[in-house]
Structure 1
Amino acid sequence: MDVYYSYTYSTAGWLALQALPLITSPTMIVTLLSPEVREATPLEVYFSRTLGFTLLTIGILQILLTGSVPLQSRLTSAEGTTTDPEDPKAPYALPTLTVTMTFHALYAFYSYMMWTETGISSFALNVLGSGFLFAVGGWCVLFASSDGRISRKTGADKRTSGFPFKNAEADKRFPKKSM
């Protein structure tokens, strides 16, 4: 699950990196994205800072809802946090991962469309960052979200298939037991 926690903290860091300039200097963002140099309107400043605070909130929720930080009122166990579905510390780990992965996909797609339309390199950077996090999130959903299903009788992974070719070598190592 190291990749999963790397994804969690990378998402929070990426969103915080994007939120910082939106909150601290919305005029600079408007100047960079505007064809003419002008002062930002109060509405643009409001929306810029609101977006920055929203990105920070999503990043913090990403860390809290995935079980990285224990959300218990008392410290009863000294063990680390896990993303096991039966673990009460992380019941929202997979849904949060899915939502943030979808967010990164939409963000990367929108940034790509804006980059091809305007040619502004800031959008290209966002395509790279969000696209990478989408790919890592997709990997986590596909491969890191559940443990392997190992058969108690044969010791083989139950999710494997013999289609379209029969795996004779695996059948030799794990003979079927008659009941």
Structure 2
Amino acid sequence: MDVFHAYTYSTAGWLALQSVPLIAGPSMIVAMLLDETRPASSIELYFARSLGFSLLAVAMLTMMLTGSIPLTTGISESVTTDDSDPKAPYAYPTLMVTFMFHALSAFYTYTSYVTGGQSVFAVAVAGNSALAFVGLWCVLFASSNGKISRRTGADKRTAGFPFSNKEADKKRAGKKRI
């Protein structure tokens, strides 16, 4: 399993893990958020369950739009993140949206942890930050195959800054003389 699919599975798992308490026990969640003890109102229960179902929907959409759940009947077909791949045409946009979601959630939970000091926010910071870093890695390195040269096998998008490529400079200098 490559890093991209591990990221999509862990994103779906993290969102599903967050949705379970919101769906199963919304009154407990509301009671933990309040300073005084009182029963949860019907609107609070509605919003808690709606958020839980929304998190589950986003988790399923992430799995489907990235191609991690194959929607075809053929098992031998491989799933890639290539833009021209018809099996996962929305893989890169979904990757960008989930990466931004995890980054913003990590920032929000970090500020909540700093101001409130509750340990549950520290767990949320760790989970969201880890997924944001893996998502950033996927955006930078796992989103395309690069421009691989057929002759040399090197990536054509690389530059010589800040280190120069002496062998490439020798080959270029040799071509200029001819």
Please report the TM-score for the alignment, with normalisation by the length of structure 1.
0.88
1:8-50, Cα deviation, whole Å (9 max, x unpaired): 0000000000000000001111222222232211111111101
1:66-111, Cα deviation, whole Å (9 max, x unpaired): 0112234xx3563232222221000000000000111111111111
Structure 1 residue runs of 4 or more that deviate by more than 6 Å after TM superposition? none
Equivalent residue for 1:68?
68
- Aligned-residue Cα RMSD (Å) equals 2.1
CA contact (8 A) 1:62 1:96 kept: yes
Return the letter of the residue paired with 1:86.
S
Equivalent residue for 2:108?
110
Equivalent residue for 2:131?
133
1:88 is paired with a residue whose SS is coil
CA contact (8 A) 1:22 1:52 kept: yes
Unaligned runs of 5+ residues in structure 1 are none
> How many residues get paired?
175
CA contact (8 A) 1:12 1:60 kept: yes
Unaligned runs of 5+ residues in structure 2 are none
- Indicate the percent of aligned positions where both proteins have the same amino acid: 59
CA contact (8 A) 1:33 1:120 kept: no
Task: Assess, with a 3 A threshold, how the Cα gap between structure 1 residues 103 and 165 changes in structure 2: closer, same or farther.
Answer: closer
CA contact (8 A) 1:31 1:38 kept: yes
CA distance in 2, matches of 1:80, 1:163: 36
Please report the TM-score for the alignment, with normalisation by the length of structure 2.
0.88
Could you tell which deviates more after superposition, 93-102 or 62-71? 62-71
